[in-house]
Amino acid sequence: MAASRYRRFLRLCEEWPVEETKRQRDLGVVLRQRVAQAFREGENTQIADPEACDQMYESLVRIHTNYYKNKYPRLKDTSFTGVTVEDCKMILATDVLKQMEDMKKGTWRKLREKFYAKKPEEDLK
């Protein structure tokens, strides 16, 4: 039975898209890592709690198939702020978040990073 569970999780991992704009923060990547960790021995893995494993799989399938989005359709595809889904995806992209972090830095810190070429390890010598 563990073999069929393993194959179901593998199939789900194959179907789950990976968003390149969210490097190291993507749910698809985390899902693949967790499945690899949970099924270290592949089809021979012994599952301690089969019911919990099945519940987890069913929950992930509902997320993947947009079950609740389809069950409870929204009137508009915007939030209370008026931001669209595409705008949210763009804002949450890793590159944009990095740019926002750079904007938060103070002027003194930016100048220090720009002109301070030595690494801190070199100061200790």
Structure confidence by residue, pLDDT tens digits, 62-84 = 999 999 999 998 887 777 777 77
Instruction: Please tell me whether residues 87 and 60 are part of one structural domain.
Output: no
* Structural domain boundaries enclosing 85: 75-119
Q: How many domains does the chain contain in total?
A: 2
pTM of whole model > 0.85? no
Give φ, ψ of 102 to 5 degrees.
Answer: -65, -35
61: tokens are 């399938």
CA distance linking residue 8 with residue 39, whole number of Å: 12
> Does one domain contain both 62 and 88?
no
On whether both 19 and 49 belong to a single domain, the answer is yes
Same domain, 21 and 59: yes
Please provide the average confidence, as pLDDT, over all residues in the chain: 80
Q: What is the mean pLDDT of each run of 10 residues along the chain (125 residues)?
A: 87 87 80 90 86 94 94 80 76 69 70 66 53
Q: What are phi and psi of 84, to 5 degrees?
A: -85, 170
DSSP three-state, residue 35: helix
